[in-house]
Structure 1
Amino acid sequence: MCMCKDSMCKYFKMINEFQDEEYFYGLLAYSIAPTIFREKPSSLIVFNNGERKLLKIWDEAKEKVCNFFNIKYFELHRYEKGAIVLFYKEDLLRKTLANRENAVFMNENGYRRQWSLNNKLYLLRNRYKNGCPHEIGIFLGYPVKDVESFINCPNKKCLVCGYWKVYNDLEKAEETFNRFNTRKEKVISLIMSGIHPTKILQYCNP
């Protein structure tokens, strides 16, 4: 289930030597790889203006990002020095939200079945003003049973904590984590071999 820590450490050591813009793309490609390569409906990432001016780069490059990675985005929250951005594959996210069990859960939480995807994203953004809402897990592709367990039994010990806290069906969750990690490892391999982060789709079909 775990990625090779050695390769991950080497990767981040390498991209830390990049100029800000290339670092931005290297970080982004790694972070959202499972979504870029269609293993996950969406991924969440935070851009800050710290030592690296990632928010500034994001504001200048967001449309190019969509083209480079064949992906869509929706800004969920903005604050003085940062932004929380949801990157998603529209068809996969629609399918995830239309899943029967997911749709029932979302409807109970105020996301009407007949709403457009944009309307659901706007409600999610509105709720983000008060902190990260639990239903973000459904958008990110987490199993609804695990999302419900996290909400209803906050003190319950999870089976494992990976991309999400797993309370049910450990075997299936670990298989999913492995698929996500495989995509991240592919990005690491490509970029460490000299491929620019914005070119990864040319070398690995999603």
Structure 2
Amino acid sequence: MKTFEQTVIHLGAPTLCGVKPSSLVSVSKEVLFCEYKKILLWNKILEDGQKKIKIARRGENLFLLFIYDEKLVQKILSKPEVLSYLNLKGYFTDNGISNVLNELLKRLSYCEIFPHEIGIFLGYPLEDVVGYEKYSGTKTKFSGAWAVYGNVAEAVKKMELYKKCSALCSSLLEAGNNFEAICKTINFM
């Protein structure tokens, strides 16, 4: 069984490496309470790289760690087609990144089913997010880290990059590096 640190580093690696706008990690209420000080410390470490960890409650005993890269999320939110989609979903996109993310976290906390637009923030192409929403995960061209409805070659390339980031960060942790050392290493590569 993986430790809290192993899980966060493995699942959050593509975001920590700066190639994925955000990652989600599910943790139990008990784990969150035990590791809360560590999350606060990690947020201080991540500040320089414009990355953050926010917490969303997901039910009675489950929480989500939303790890994100501000620059990459901002880049996504600069695309007119993404803004249009999010506006249709009821987001007020002209109020800035902070308000958009707060709305997303609120929806993650209070919506019974996952809001489909989470895919946008996780770096999935808009075409794939809309396709998943329309076809409920069926009629895909390819399935991997997400359901692909658009460009399979590009999606597979991205998925492979995400796997490489996870493998790299996990191996750095196994070699005895802590979270801070891993972040410094990957930011200078």
The TM-score by the shorter chain falls in which range? 0.7 to 0.9
Does structure 1 residue 46 correspond to structure 2 residue 26?
Answer: yes
The range that moved more, 165-174 or 114-123, is: 114-123
The amino acid that maps onto 1:29 is I
Q: Which runs of 5+ in 1 are unaligned?
A: 1-11, 17-22
Q: Find the partner of 1:159 among 134, 138, 141.
A: 141
Quote the offset at 1:202 in angstroms: 3.0
CA distance in 2, matches of 1:138, 1:155: 16
Distance in structure 2 (CA, Å) of the matches to 1:167 and 1:201: 33
Separation (CA, whole Å) in 2 of partners of 1:190 and 1:73: 20
The aligned counterpart of 1:134 is 116
Q: Paired residue for 2:36?
A: 59
How many residues are treated as equivalent by the alignment?
Answer: 183
Aligned partners of 1:68 and 1:199 also within 8 Å = no
* TM-score, with structure 2 as normaliser: 0.87
- Cα deviation for residue 76 of structure 1 reads 2.6
* Structure 2 residue runs without a partner (length 5+): none
Q: Contact 2:10/2:170 (CA < 8 Å) preserved in 1?
A: yes
User: Does residue 1:98 correspond to 2:78, yes or no?
Assistant: yes
Q: Distance in 2 between matches of 1:155 and 1:44?
A: 19
Q: What is the one-letter code of the residue matched to 1:58?
A: E
Contact 1:74 1:87 in 2 (8 A): yes
What is the aligned partner in structure 1 of residue 12 from structure 2? 32
Cα deviation for residue 155 of structure 1 reads 6.0
Secondary structure, counterpart of 2:95 in structure 1 = coil
CA distance in 2 between counterparts of 1:41 and 1:80 reads 27
Query: What are the equivalent positions in structure 2 for 1:108-123 lying under 5 Å apart?
Result: 108-123=88-103
% of aligned pairs identical?
Answer: 27
| 2:164 aligned residue (157, 182, 187) | 182
Q: What SS class does the counterpart of residue 61 from structure 1 fall into?
A: helix
Task: Report the residue type matching 1:141 in the other structure.
Answer: G
